[in-house]
A = this chain, B = another copy of it.
Amino acid sequence: MAYHLLQHDRTRAGILAESLEQALQAVRHCQRCNTFSENELCERCASARRDPSLLCIVETPVDMNMMEQSQAYNGLYYVLMGRLSPLDGIGPRELKLDRLLARASDGVVREVILATNYTNEGEATAHYISELLHGRGIGVSRIARGVPVGGELEYVDSGTLAQAVRERRSLD
């Protein structure tokens, strides 16, 4: 991209450089949920129409956007900006999990929903956080794992099907 801009489009390269510079100066982290924001509090944390008793924990701002697009959630968020990954040297300290703990213990949050990815690192992160919150009087839940909507058993992998059977839901 850099080569293309330098060779074919030097004007736009200048505009891009300027925009990036502005973004670097303007965009910081929301003081409550840690996502990118131009203000001290992001749009969602500042909104009065959201349920402050629900706190959904996601790995990245992109994941938060996905949750928003699903239109199934109207609580607040906490964005980890990463995941536990010992091989990459990312532990609880690097993720600043003490900040998350302080956020979840504000007395208003009644349920923490762990929405980290269903990868190994995401699962480890969810497990660690659930242990961290255990015994603090805050409910902890994990987004469901199973067959995707529209999914046919014939095309679902064995691991997913096994989980779907183990975590079956009573209809009574």
Contacts of A148 in B (CB 8 A): 118, 145-148, 151, 156-157, 160
Given the interface pairs A72-B166, A148-B147, the reply to whether A67 lies near B153 with Cβ below 8 Å is yes
Contacts of A66 in B (CB 8 A): 153-154, 156, 158, 161
Smallest CB gap from A143: residue in B: B164
A: contact size bracket: 35 or more
Smallest CB gap from A148: residue in B: B160
- Chain A interface, DSSP helix/strand/loop, else mixed: mixed
Instruction: Flag if B168 contacts A141 (CB, 8 Å).
Output: yes
Instruction: Flag if A140 contacts B73 (CB, 8 Å).
Output: no
CB distance from A135 to the nearest CB of B (A): 10
Smallest CB gap from A112: residue in B: B171
Q: Which A positions have Cβ atoms within 8 angstroms of B?
A: 56, 58-60, 62-63, 66-67, 69-73, 113-115, 117-119, 122, 130, 139-154, 156-172
